[in-house]
Structure 1
Amino acid sequence: MSRKLVFFLAIVASLAVGAALPGLVARFGGAGAPANGGGPEAVAPAPQGLIPLSAAQIEAAKIGIAKAGPGVIRRQITVPAAVKPDPDHLARVAAKVAGVVAEMRKKLGDEVARNETIAIIDSREVADAKSEYLAALANYDLQSQLFQREKGLFEKKITAEQLFLKARATFTEAKLRLDLSRGKLAALDLSESEIAALGSQPIARLREKEIRAPIKGRVIERLTNIGQPVTAESQLYVLADLSEVEVELAVPVADLASVRVGQPVLLKGTGGRSFEGAVRVVHSIITPETRTGHVVATFKNPDYALRAGALLNAEIAVEQSPAKVLVPRAAVQLVHNEPTVFVRVKDGFEKRVVELGDGDETSVEIIKGLAPGERFAVANSFVLKAEAGKSEIPEE
């Protein structure tokens, strides 16, 4: 009976030891089979902080990658902006003579070239000045011939000195009259080429005064019509060369002290297009109605996309500072309330906590945690944040 009892107790003890053995092995780091009964094909868990992704998965998720590097932190202010023609590229074309408008060769919006004839004035004043010049020119030619004849005779002792001196005085007077009539035509804005061509000009055109464009540009105003009487001060056209425009910026008084001549200005146009310019003038007078400072910036406008009179928004870069490592703000994600970037490694992305520095609206400086030259996720980095959150969920 006692022998059977001893045998029974031995069987119970062996069963208890067999049940406890796997736990003891796992507790003390011994090698053994996994608890789920997996074979040698079981995959080892990924290192902590690694998000394993293949190149195909990265491309499918549209995760953009950039290389860390230096940049410039810009502090900027956004202000209202009004586009207007540059005064140095604006011309008001006057008639310059009294008369009647005979032709208006340009319409509103037409392009004009420098020195192109854009209007014609029918003027009696011009006709009188041209006739006076032609008469003076004919008399000058005659007196010149007579003077040269008398000079030759005097040198040959054929004529008296008194006749020679009289011929010279008459020639000098004719030359003076010619110069005065030429000056009058120049005062009426006739060019040297126009004056030289008067001798061959038809009589019917003596009343015509050609009005030429002083600059190249576009007609932005047409101020008269055919048949309308005009004076010398009457304006016919307003021309503007809009390849360069001026923009008035209304800067709040609190920010006016930070604005300097030469600072970059970014103008936000319609359709999402931007234009780069610079501050040219900072006025010292405050506008009483709006309590804003008057700042003027200039912009190149080669394709005339900026239209005079447009009201837009402008960003003035009032302060700039260099940064050794500057990344877009979209690349930084908050993971457990810590700023984190996802660095590209061989097998995917590494979740890395970083220390942030100064920044602006679009970028932020990385002081610690990301070295220049390392590649990191820029676009769609929130996908990596979601994957990192999945890996932290404990398995049942």
Structure 2
Amino acid sequence: MLATRQAPAPARPEAKPAAAPEPERPGLVRLSDRQIAKAGIRTDAADGGRLFRHLHVPATIVPSANNTARIAVKTTGTVVELRKGLGDRVAKGEVVALLDSREIADAKGEYLAAHVSADLQKTLYQRDKELWDKRISSEQQYLRSQASYQDLKVKEDAARRKLTFLGLGPAEINALASQPEAQFERQEIRSPIAGKVVERRVDLGAAVGRDNLETELYSVVDLTKVWIDLAVTPGDLPLVREGQTVTVRTDATGATAEGRIVFIGPVLDQNTRAARVVAELANPDETWRPGSFVAAEIKVSDKPVRVLVPSEAVQTIEGKPTVFVRVPEGFEARSVTVGRSDDRDVEVTAGLEPGEVIAVANSFTLKAELGKAAAED
């Protein structure tokens, strides 16, 4: 019996040693898109911009003195009708009250008498002039007629000026000839501006006018433009100029708006030692109410820079200013050189190019992750 020889088993290939893991790049923070969103990390591209310096000052919203009117009477009389109440809107030239005044009646009568006399004498003067030109009448007659007309015209003009002073407009004066004499005592009181009634100082039937009587009937304010009263310290005053932009914000609603400086006070307040600076603010929907306290920022400088990033984007790592640049794996810490800064942004002079995407919000989270990874190593 032949013994069979068993063939030797094939030799197994020698196992190769496992490849060493690729070393982690210094400064790399690995995060997925989902992790980035969950951490609230917001990104944006670095870009050029302008650096602004702001002064933060306390401020108050006040009515614009240019848009405020006190409706007053210039003659003595009695209020017979009040057509507006508190909060009512008025148009420019709208009648807001009616007044009965003996003084007005006398002035109207005086004017009409002077007007009729001057008008009649004008006709006589023109007739005498024609006769003199034809040498039908004497020169003496013509000159007497001319002098009489000029004298009556002066009286008519004086009576007209008196009515104007008492508050009558040109249209009202011209219409007096057709007005019934029974209405001569009646005077219409009109608003000189459009706005809202903020104060009514008299009641129906009140005696008004001179001789220690009330003269003001209403206060009207146009709130479509308001003023911002700013208190600026003497040290900051040299930085403030007319025309500079002022941003105001109210803590109550968080609303913001921009105005421009229109006035810088030449003297300091004796109590606060601050200068009064006034900015004008458009207020078409009347949301900014006079008397409100607001926080104000005055933009006092404006400079262009090549690369500008939010201050929150720059973290200090190992004593160096650092930003986190977006890479496919997450973010990479990169040291940069910073220049000037303002209240919100900082200039990057080296280490970052326009267009590179960086973390601009919650970058401190990336700094913490980077520090955690370094501690584990």
TM-score range, shorter chain: 0.7 to 0.9
| 8 Å Cα contact 1:64-1:380 kept in structure 2 | yes
| 8 Å Cα contact 1:116-1:212 kept in structure 2 | yes
Structure 2 matches for 1:183-194, cutoff 5 A? 183-194=161-172
Q: Tell me: CA distance 1:156–1:385, structure 2 relative to 1, closer, same or farther (3 Å).
A: closer
User: Residue 354 of structure 2 corresponds to which residue in structure 1?
Assistant: 372
Equivalent in 184, 187, 205 of residue 227 of structure 1: 205
- TM-score calculated relative to the size of structure 2: 0.80
Deviation at 1:146, TM superposition (A): 5.9
Deviation at 1:95, TM superposition (A): 0.3
2:17 matches 1:32: yes
> SS at the partner of 1:344?
strand
User: Residue 5 of structure 2 corresponds to which residue in structure 1?
Assistant: none
> SS at the partner of 2:243?
coil
User: Residue 40 of structure 1 corresponds to which residue in structure 2?
Assistant: none
2:219 matches 1:258: no
Structure 2 matches for 1:1-396, cutoff 5 A? 32-34=17-19, 47-140=25-118, 142-143=120-121, 174-232=152-210, 234-269=215-250, 270-389=252-371, 391-392=373-374, 394=376
> SS at the partner of 2:187?
strand
Distance between the aligned counterparts of 1:154 and 1:394, measured in 2? 122
Distance between the aligned counterparts of 1:394 and 1:47, measured in 2? 15
For residues 86-129 of structure 1, the C-alpha deviation after alignment (integer angstroms, 9 at most, x for no partner) is 22222222201111122222222322222222222211111112
> SS at the partner of 1:129?
helix
> SS at the partner of 2:47?
coil
Deviation at 1:306, TM superposition (A): 2.2
For residues 156-193 of structure 1, the C-alpha deviation after alignment (integer angstroms, 9 at most, x for no partner) is 99988887777666655554543333233222221111
> SS at the partner of 2:253?
helix
Q: Tell me: CA distance 1:149–1:336, structure 2 relative to 1, closer, same or farther (3 Å).
A: closer
For residues 27-67 of structure 1, the C-alpha deviation after alignment (integer angstroms, 9 at most, x for no partner) is xxxx73258xxxxxxx8565443334454554454432212
Structure with larger Rg: 1
* Letter aligned with residue 206 of structure 2: Q
Q: Tell me: CA distance 1:239–1:66, structure 2 relative to 1, closer, same or farther (3 Å).
A: same
Distance between the aligned counterparts of 2:151 and 2:191, measured in 1? 36
| 8 Å Cα contact 2:78-2:101 kept in structure 1 | yes
| 8 Å Cα contact 2:52-2:301 kept in structure 1 | yes
Unaligned runs of 5+ in 2: 1-13
Deviation at 1:251, TM superposition (A): 2.4
Distance between the aligned counterparts of 1:290 and 1:151, measured in 2? 73
Distance between the aligned counterparts of 2:56 and 2:226, measured in 1? 19
* Letter aligned with residue 69 of structure 1: D
For residues 269-289 of structure 1, the C-alpha deviation after alignment (integer angstroms, 9 at most, x for no partner) is 241122223333333433332
* Letter aligned with residue 331 of structure 1: A
For residues 245-278 of structure 1, the C-alpha deviation after alignment (integer angstroms, 9 at most, x for no partner) is 2333222333334333333322222411222233
Deviation at 1:362, TM superposition (A): 2.0
Deviation at 1:244, TM superposition (A): 2.5
Distance between the aligned counterparts of 2:292 and 2:198, measured in 1? 14
Deviation at 1:367, TM superposition (A): 2.5
> SS at the partner of 1:325?
strand
Distance between the aligned counterparts of 1:260 and 1:145, measured in 2? 63
> SS at the partner of 2:236?
helix
| 8 Å Cα contact 2:226-2:281 kept in structure 1 | yes
Distance between the aligned counterparts of 1:223 and 1:386, measured in 2? 66
Distance between the aligned counterparts of 1:287 and 1:160, measured in 2? 74
Distance between the aligned counterparts of 1:293 and 1:178, measured in 2? 51
Distance between the aligned counterparts of 2:199 and 2:89, measured in 1? 12
Unaligned runs of 5+ in 1: 1-20, 23-30, 36-42
* Letter aligned with residue 170 of structure 2: E
- TM-score calculated relative to the size of structure 1: 0.76
Structure (1 or 2) with the greater helix fraction: 1
Distance between the aligned counterparts of 2:64 and 2:103, measured in 1? 35
Deviation at 1:220, TM superposition (A): 2.5
> SS at the partner of 1:108?
coil
| 8 Å Cα contact 1:46-1:52 kept in structure 2 | no
| 8 Å Cα contact 2:73-2:167 kept in structure 1 | no
* Letter aligned with residue 213 of structure 1: S
* Letter aligned with residue 87 of structure 1: A
